[in-house]
Structure 1
Amino acid sequence: MHQLVEQIANQDIRALARAITFVENDSIEKLQIMQDAYSIKKNGMYIGLTGSPGAGKSSLVNRLISQIRTEGKTVAVIAVDPTSPFSGGSLLGDRVRMNEHFTDDGVFIRSMATRGSLGGLARATKDALRLCDAFGFDVIIVETVGVGQSELDIMKIVDTTAVVLTPNSGDVLQIFKAGIMEIADLFVINKADLPGVGKLKAMLRELIHMTKQDRYQPQIVKTITTENEGIEALWEKLKEHHAYVYASSEGKKRLEEQRKLEVLELIRDEIWRDVYQYVQSHPDFSSNLTNTDPYNLASSLYMKWKKEGR
Structure 2
Amino acid sequence: MTGPHAALSSEFGALVDGVLAGNRRALARLITRVENRVPGADAAIAALYPHTGRAAIVGITGAPGTGKSTVVNALTRVFRARGQTVGIVAVDPTSPFSGGAVLGDRIRMSDHAGDAGVFIRSMASRGSLGGLSATTNDVTRILDAAGFDLVLIETVGAGQSEVDIARTAYTTIVVDAPGLGDDVQAIKAGILEIADILVVNKADRPGVENTVRALRAMLDLGHRMRAVPHHGQRLIQDDTGASPEYDFWQVPILKTVAAENEGLDAVADAIAAHGEHLRESGQRQERERQRVEAELIDRLREVLLARLLAAQTPAALADVVDRMAARTLDPGSAVAELLAIRD
TM-score (norm 2): 0.83
Does residue 193 of structure 2 align to residue 161 of structure 1? no
CA offset at residue 44 of structure 1? 0.7
1:90-169 matches, within 5 Å, as 90-169=101-180
Kept after mapping to 2: 8 A contact 1:42/1:136: no
How far apart, CA to CA, are the structure 2 residues paired with 1:82 and 1:39? 31
Q: Which amino acid aligns with 1:92?
A: L
Aligned to 1:220: 253
Aligned to 1:283: 315
Gap change, CA 1:171 and 1:103, over 3 Å in 2 = farther
How far apart, CA to CA, are the structure 2 residues paired with 1:171 and 1:163? 16
Kept after mapping to 2: 8 A contact 1:165/1:171: no
Does residue 17 of structure 2 align to residue 6 of structure 1? yes
Does residue 314 of structure 2 align to residue 303 of structure 1? no
Tell me the alpha carbon deviations over residues 170-218 of structure 1, each in whole angstroms, 9 at most, x when there is no partner: 3632222211122100000000001111111112222222222752121
Does residue 105 of structure 2 align to residue 68 of structure 1? no
- Any gaps of 5 or more consecutive residues in structure 1? none
Count of residues paired in the alignment: 304
What SS is found at the alignment partner of 1:303? coil
1:241-260 matches, within 5 Å, as 241-260=274-293
1:169-208 matches, within 5 Å, as 169-170=180-181, 172-208=183-219
How far apart, CA to CA, are the structure 2 residues paired with 1:6 and 1:237? 34
Kept after mapping to 1: 8 A contact 2:90/2:105: no
How far apart, CA to CA, are the structure 2 residues paired with 1:228 and 1:288? 57
Identity %: 40
Aligned to 2:271: 238
Aligned to 2:32: 21
Decide which of 272, 287, 297 is 1:264's aligned counterpart: 297
Kept after mapping to 2: 8 A contact 1:148/1:174: no
Tell me the alpha carbon deviations over residues 98-150 of structure 1, each in whole angstroms, 9 at most, x when there is no partner: 11111111111111111111111111111100000011111110000101110
Aligned-CA RMSD value: 2.1
What SS is found at the alignment partner of 1:175? helix
How far apart, CA to CA, are the structure 2 residues paired with 1:232 and 1:199? 23
TM-score (norm 1): 0.91
Q: Which amino acid aligns with 1:150?
A: S
Q: Which amino acid aligns with 2:161?
A: S
Gap change, CA 1:24 and 1:171, over 3 Å in 2 = farther
What SS is found at the alignment partner of 1:78? strand
Kept after mapping to 2: 8 A contact 1:132/1:140: yes
How far apart, CA to CA, are the structure 1 residues paired with 2:32 and 2:268? 30
Structure that is richer in helix per residue: 1
Kept after mapping to 1: 8 A contact 2:320/2:334: no
CA offset at residue 272 of structure 1? 2.0
How far apart, CA to CA, are the structure 1 residues paired with 2:159 and 2:56? 25
- Any gaps of 5 or more consecutive residues in structure 2? 1-11, 225-245
Kept after mapping to 1: 8 A contact 2:105/2:122: no
Kept after mapping to 2: 8 A contact 1:181/1:211: no
